[in-house]
Chains A and B, each alone.
Chain A
């Protein structure tokens, strides 16, 4: 039965027409991922009207190709320019950019492509074999469990950046504060919007990420980077070759990253960005020498890049197996089915096996195409670094502006980029780390949403967090990490 389905899927995916649309999708996706700002949702939105003309399987294959293709391309700008191509690869900049500065851009790009492929493959295998089981598991997660998970993530990640812990915590709180801007989802009360309708939906993640990482990076780099740092050797094809040490260090981060990513991909409301953050936090936690992180540790790019690609694939599990789209992008995919008169729902897998298996098998083809497509491109991207920075940075700013605007067709978002750029530059100059702020921004509002809903559903009894087994377990792990961390810091201060 399973193999019949696989063969059926391959037959569908291997038609010339579907192969072509798969290529169009992943090609556009990877290019758009490289351009800072144009996120996956904007990219898919732009190409969505095209799907009216396509038959549904081809339309989904193309849209899905854009979706996971952007994640492949997203790390490129993060590594080369310290400007995140997509929010989910912002974290890759933390260690990818230092690698590039050390002349190891080629290695970083090559290895993230491998990590992406590895993570994607794990995600597809889960999608093929365990969709039913996993989607039933996802049903066990209600707001109580979400809250416990978000808390775990925040605590685990609190020591995410090097430098003073207290500054990291301040940045987390500031991130949460920016995340709270907008209409309260429970009462509609406008919080910190100052009467601006543009803030009613909150601050756009892309504006925050590109301001903090992108614009502030440009300000800090102008006049300081010339193309001097680029050794012509480092853009050669040979320079892509990882050392034996790189490979040895990469295995476990890829496996752990894929696991983390697969998990967060299946949960509605979370996704590749959270997956990447959590994976980075995990890698730092388990590392024997966490002080290497932030200075070009290869684990710091392999984990997150496997995680976000795995999450990309497993995000299809609730979408296709239950008809529950976990994100705006997934809802868009289902929208593509609706225009063709296919009602997306729990019966999609059984009613439309050619569509489901064709799509899933196209993911293998698409990921292979991305692997083959990206490796030769690395040489080209690295050459970007040979362009003198004084010419490059105005163009980067232009892409940041257009990319941000395109997400919501909003000039206001571009103004926000400018504001966060100024803020980010000031804060980084005072050595406040930027990554925790993005983490707080993403997790904070989710924590509030789920905490309040859990209290509502639990009819006002805080014990609900301990009565439900999954949430109780996660909270216990969180407490253990917290105590362990406190014990560790106490012992350290006692020793010094």
Chain B
């Protein structure tokens, strides 16, 4: 009953003018589920974005951190919330596209359990090696792998992370064989790269750039389709003969399934307006992000592609 009424009211007001609707939605504090602990990359991004939206619209967000199982527990909770637009959350490559194919316990179907609202940003992975390594560029790494499959050890921040899946995708595309050394987070992995114990390390670009700048490690390649604006000189993995190859950690705002179209439109508009702000844009770009934004429909199409792509990587690699 409440839903119908809101929807009806929303539709009626929207019929007159859409900015007017923006004033009736939201009808109070927006509960905002961040499926990671406070202080992590996702949490910081969510808070920065919400801050900007709040400044521009006066809406109030109450962030609720619900960590666990690679972000899947928080999203599972979101999928069970009321679809009235008053509970939203932030999702990303791992919990919206990879985990549903990879993890046996994920119960939600990312395409039906959520209402896509808007993409926020994307960050590629950076592939680094020790400063004194014999690999002059990524081509050398590929040569070594081709000459002796399994001879190159690559570290990642964990099994099932985008870093791991990025190489799995490369292995599936290029018929290569790397040996995976998962770590638990970045600390020991970076330390092992610096000591030259592990050959290469794949991690999110912002997490490796400070070490590249310090000169202790070298950046060999990025996993985005186009060279990244922060490191324009660094070649993409795709440029080594893997056309169309890309792997990125994107983040997006989603709501539970069945959100009224007007609420989606209002939130999407607010997100795009916030992302257009120079200050926020500069902050995100400094962190290694490419700002995306766009319509809810574009996000839905993108999500469908990603879900299919990663499911294929998971099944080709036999990870499930």
Contacts and interface: CB of A to CB of B under 8 A. Distances in A.
Direct contact of A and B (CB under 8 A): yes
Interface string A392-410: 0000000000000000111
A268 B188 contact: yes
B47 A324 contact: no
B210 A456 contact: no
B40 interface: yes
A52 interface: yes
B39 A45 contact: yes
A200 B63 contact: no
Interface in B90-109: 102-107
Instruction: Give the interface residue-count category, chain A.
Output: 35 or more
B160 A188 contact: yes
Nearest to A144: B197
Nearest to A456: B181
A140 interface: yes
A44 to B, nearest CB: 8
Contacts of B186: 324-325
Contacts of A449: 184
B38 to A, nearest CB: 4
B173 to A, nearest CB: 21
Given A318-B187, A322-B191, A343-B206, A49 B44 contact: no
B195 A140 contact: yes
A15 to B, nearest CB: 25
A189 to B, nearest CB: 9
B197 A341 contact: no
A197 interface: yes
B219 interface: no
A186 interface: yes
Contacts of A163: none
A408 B68 contact: yes
B244 interface: no
B216 A200 contact: no
Nearest to B282: A341
Interface stretch (B69-77, B79-87, B301-309): B69-77
A49 B65 CA distance: 11
B191 A268 contact: yes
Contacts of A328: 37
B47 to A, nearest CB: 6
A129 interface: no
B68 A200 contact: yes
B287 interface: yes
Given A52-B51, A188-B159, A347 B214 contact: yes
A324 B190 contact: yes
A335 B187 contact: no
Given A409-B66, A456-B153, A331 B39 contact: yes
Contact of A343 (B40, B181, B198, B209): B209
A326 interface: yes
Which secondary structure characterizes the binding site on chain B? mixed
B182 interface: yes
Could you say which of A138, A185, A268, A325 has the most chain B C-beta atoms within 10 Å of its C-beta? Answer: A268
A41 B40 CA distance: 12
Contact of B210 (A48, A140, A323, A339): A323
A456 B319 CA distance: 19
A138 B63 CA distance: 37
A231 interface: no
Contacts of A326: 187
Contacts of B64: 409
A338 B68 CA distance: 22
A183 B160 CA distance: 11
Contacts of B319: 188
Could you say which of B65, B68, B186 has the most chain A C-beta atoms within 10 Å of its C-beta? Answer: B68
A345 B158 CA distance: 21
Nearest to B215: A346
Given A185-B158, A346-B216, A409-B64, A142 B197 contact: yes
A346 B210 contact: yes
Could you say which of B68, B69, B183, B188 has the most chain A C-beta atoms within 10 Å of its C-beta? Answer: B188
A331 B213 contact: no
B246 interface: no
Given A185-B158, A409-B65, A410-B68, A197 B153 contact: no
Nearest to B37: A45
Interface string B150-180: 0001000011100000000000000000010
Contacts of A335: 38-41, 43-44
Contact of A139 (B48, B102, B104, B194): B194
B210 A347 contact: yes
A332 B160 CA distance: 22
A408 B197 CA distance: 34
A142 B195 contact: yes
A284 interface: no
Contact of A45 (B38, B103, B188, B283): B38
Nearest to B187: A268
Q: Which 4 A-B pairs have the closest CB atoms?
A: A345-B210, A335-B39, A332-B39, A268-B187
18 contacts: A44-B38, A49-B47, A138-B191, A139-B191, A142-B195, A187-B159, A190-B105, A197-B73, A197-B76, A197-B107, A331-B40, A335-B39, A338-B41, A339-B48, A408-B67, A409-B64, A453-B181, A457-B198
Given A268-B187, A324-B190, 14 more contacts: A45-B38, A139-B194, A140-B195, A142-B188, A143-B188, A184-B159, A190-B105, A197-B76, A201-B68, A324-B187, A331-B39, A331-B185, A346-B216, A457-B192
Interface of B: 37-41, 43-44, 47-48, 51, 63-70, 72-73, 76, 102-107, 153, 158-160, 179, 181-188, 190-192, 194-195, 197-198, 206, 209-211, 213-214, 216, 283, 286-287, 319
